[in-house]
Protein backbone atom coordinates (compact mmCIF):
# COMPACT_ATOMS: atom_id res chain seq x y z
CA UNK A 1 0.00 0.00 0.00
CA UNK A 2 2.79 2.44 0.76
CA UNK A 3 4.17 2.13 -2.76
CA UNK A 4 0.83 3.11 -4.30
CA UNK A 5 0.59 6.26 -2.18
CA UNK A 6 4.12 7.26 -3.15
CA UNK A 7 3.44 6.74 -6.84
CA UNK A 8 0.19 8.70 -6.59
CA UNK A 9 1.91 11.56 -4.77
CA UNK A 10 4.68 11.70 -7.39
CA UNK A 11 2.13 11.62 -10.17
CA UNK A 12 0.07 14.36 -8.50
CA UNK A 13 3.22 16.49 -7.99
CA UNK A 14 4.17 16.00 -11.62
CA UNK A 15 0.70 16.95 -12.87
CA UNK A 16 0.39 19.99 -10.58
CA UNK A 17 3.92 21.42 -10.70
CA UNK A 18 6.02 20.13 -13.55
CA UNK A 19 3.52 19.85 -16.40
CA UNK A 20 2.06 23.41 -16.21
CA UNK A 21 5.51 24.99 -15.87
CA UNK A 22 6.69 23.02 -18.90
CA UNK A 23 3.75 24.30 -20.89
CA UNK A 24 4.38 27.90 -19.79
CA UNK A 25 8.08 27.74 -20.65
CA UNK A 26 7.47 26.20 -24.06
CA UNK A 27 4.89 28.88 -24.98
CA UNK A 28 7.30 31.81 -24.78
CA UNK A 29 7.45 33.87 -27.96
CA UNK A 30 10.79 33.97 -29.71
CA UNK A 31 12.05 36.85 -31.85
CA UNK A 32 12.10 34.67 -34.94
CA UNK A 33 8.42 33.81 -34.38
CA UNK A 34 7.30 37.45 -34.56
CA UNK A 35 6.00 38.60 -37.93
CA UNK A 36 7.90 41.73 -38.86
CA UNK A 37 6.38 44.63 -40.79
CA UNK A 38 7.40 45.01 -44.41
CA UNK A 39 9.82 47.68 -45.55
CA UNK A 40 9.00 50.19 -48.29
CA UNK A 41 10.94 48.02 -50.77
CA UNK A 42 8.92 44.93 -49.87
CA UNK A 43 5.59 46.79 -50.13
CA UNK A 44 6.53 48.02 -53.62
CA UNK A 45 7.74 44.61 -54.79
CA UNK A 46 4.66 42.76 -53.54
CA UNK A 47 2.07 45.16 -54.98
CA UNK A 48 1.21 44.88 -58.70
CA UNK A 49 0.12 48.51 -58.61
CA UNK A 50 3.82 49.45 -58.46
CA UNK A 51 5.23 47.17 -61.20
CA UNK A 52 6.76 50.06 -63.18
CA UNK A 53 8.15 51.68 -60.02
CA UNK A 54 9.57 48.30 -58.95
CA UNK A 55 11.50 47.92 -62.22
CA UNK A 56 12.82 51.47 -61.95
CA UNK A 57 13.82 50.92 -58.31
CA UNK A 58 15.73 47.75 -59.21
CA UNK A 59 17.41 49.46 -62.20
CA UNK A 60 18.46 52.37 -59.96
CA UNK A 61 19.88 49.94 -57.37
CA UNK A 62 17.72 51.42 -54.62
CA UNK A 63 16.34 48.20 -53.09
CA UNK A 64 18.51 48.51 -49.99
CA UNK A 65 18.17 52.29 -49.73
CA UNK A 66 14.40 51.92 -49.35
CA UNK A 67 14.79 49.34 -46.58
CA UNK A 68 16.51 51.63 -44.09
CA UNK A 69 15.95 55.00 -42.47
CA UNK A 70 12.69 56.77 -41.78
CA UNK A 71 11.24 57.84 -45.12
CA UNK A 72 8.12 59.42 -46.53
CA UNK A 73 7.65 58.15 -50.06
CA UNK A 74 5.19 59.83 -52.42
CA UNK A 75 4.97 56.81 -54.69
CA UNK A 76 3.53 57.04 -58.19
CA UNK A 77 1.58 53.94 -59.17
CA UNK A 78 1.30 52.52 -62.69
CA UNK A 79 -1.58 54.85 -63.61
CA UNK A 80 0.53 57.87 -62.53
CA UNK A 81 3.24 56.77 -64.95
CA UNK A 82 0.52 56.33 -67.59
CA UNK A 83 -0.54 59.96 -67.13
CA UNK A 84 3.05 60.87 -68.07
CA UNK A 85 2.79 58.62 -71.17
CA UNK A 86 5.11 56.05 -69.62
CA UNK A 87 3.38 52.71 -70.07
CA UNK A 88 6.45 50.54 -69.66
CA UNK A 89 9.41 50.71 -67.33
CA UNK A 90 11.74 50.27 -70.32
CA UNK A 91 11.34 53.98 -71.08
CA UNK A 92 13.22 54.80 -67.89
CA UNK A 93 15.34 51.68 -67.47
CA UNK A 94 16.93 52.41 -70.84
CA UNK A 95 18.37 55.57 -69.24
CA UNK A 96 21.42 55.49 -66.95
CA UNK A 97 20.78 54.21 -63.42
CA UNK A 98 21.63 57.66 -62.07
CA UNK A 99 18.64 59.17 -63.91
CA UNK A 100 16.31 56.55 -62.44
CA UNK A 101 17.78 57.23 -58.98
CA UNK A 102 17.13 60.97 -59.38
CA UNK A 103 13.51 60.27 -60.38
CA UNK A 104 12.89 58.13 -57.31
CA UNK A 105 14.76 60.47 -54.95
CA UNK A 106 12.59 63.38 -56.07
CA UNK A 107 9.61 61.49 -54.58
CA UNK A 108 11.17 60.82 -51.14
CA UNK A 109 11.43 62.97 -48.06
CA UNK A 110 14.13 61.40 -45.93
CA UNK A 111 14.79 61.18 -42.22
CA UNK A 112 11.17 61.73 -41.31
CA UNK A 113 7.94 59.81 -41.35
CA UNK A 114 5.04 62.11 -42.19
CA UNK A 115 1.65 60.49 -41.82
CA UNK A 116 -1.25 62.05 -43.72
CA UNK A 117 -2.71 63.57 -40.55
CA UNK A 118 0.64 65.31 -39.90
CA UNK A 119 1.01 66.86 -43.38
CA UNK A 120 1.09 70.63 -43.46
CA UNK A 121 1.07 73.06 -46.34
CA UNK A 122 4.49 74.36 -47.20
CA UNK A 123 7.77 73.24 -48.71
CA UNK A 124 9.75 70.09 -47.98
CA UNK A 125 13.16 69.04 -49.22
CA UNK A 126 13.48 65.69 -50.99
CA UNK A 127 16.46 63.34 -50.83
CA UNK A 128 17.47 64.62 -54.26
CA UNK A 129 17.75 68.11 -52.76
CA UNK A 130 14.92 69.83 -54.58
CA UNK A 131 11.92 71.33 -52.82
CA UNK A 132 8.39 70.05 -53.23
CA UNK A 133 5.34 72.09 -52.46
CA UNK A 134 2.61 70.60 -50.27
CA UNK A 135 -0.81 72.18 -50.84
CA UNK A 136 -4.26 71.33 -49.57
CA UNK A 137 -7.46 71.72 -51.55
CA UNK A 138 -10.59 70.86 -49.58
CA UNK A 139 -9.41 67.73 -47.74
CA UNK A 140 -6.91 66.48 -50.32
CA UNK A 141 -3.19 67.13 -50.10
CA UNK A 142 -1.10 67.49 -53.24
CA UNK A 143 2.65 67.32 -53.76
CA UNK A 144 3.64 69.60 -56.67
CA UNK A 145 0.09 69.19 -58.04
CA UNK A 146 0.17 65.39 -57.68
CA UNK A 147 -2.82 64.48 -55.51
CA UNK A 148 -2.37 61.91 -52.77
CA UNK A 149 -4.97 59.31 -53.72
CA UNK A 150 -4.14 56.65 -51.11
CA UNK A 151 -2.39 57.84 -47.95
CA UNK A 152 -0.68 56.12 -45.06
CA UNK A 153 0.52 52.76 -46.31
CA UNK A 154 2.60 51.93 -43.29
CA UNK A 155 5.98 50.24 -43.60
CA UNK A 156 8.63 49.26 -41.09
CA UNK A 157 10.86 52.13 -42.16
CA UNK A 158 8.39 54.83 -43.11
CA UNK A 159 5.15 55.58 -44.87
CA UNK A 160 4.00 55.50 -48.49
CA UNK A 161 1.46 57.92 -49.95
CA UNK A 162 0.30 56.94 -53.44
CA UNK A 163 0.10 59.91 -55.80
CA UNK A 164 -1.76 60.25 -59.11
CA UNK A 165 1.08 61.72 -61.20
CA UNK A 166 4.85 62.05 -61.24
CA UNK A 167 6.58 64.81 -59.32
CA UNK A 168 8.37 66.80 -61.98
CA UNK A 169 11.05 69.30 -61.13
pLDDT in tens, the chain (169 residues): 555 677 777 777 766 766 666 666 666 666 666 677 899 999 999 999 999 999 999 999 998 888 888 999 999 999 999 999 999 999 999 999 999 999 999 999 988 899 999 999 999 999 988 999 999 998 899 999 999 999 999 999 999 999 999 997 6
Q: Does domain 37-163 have CATH number 2.30.180.10?
A: yes
Q: β-strands 140-143, 146-155: how paired?
A: antiparallel
The confidence score (pLDDT) of residue 133 equals 94
Nearest to 52 by CA among 107, 100, 118, 5: 100
Residue 96 CA to residue 143 CA, distance in Å, equals: 26
Amino acid sequence: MKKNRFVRRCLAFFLVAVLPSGIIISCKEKNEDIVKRKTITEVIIENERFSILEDIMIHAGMNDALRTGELTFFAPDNSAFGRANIFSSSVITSLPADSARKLINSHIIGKERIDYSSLKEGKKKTIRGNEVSLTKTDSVFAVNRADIILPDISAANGVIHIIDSLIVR
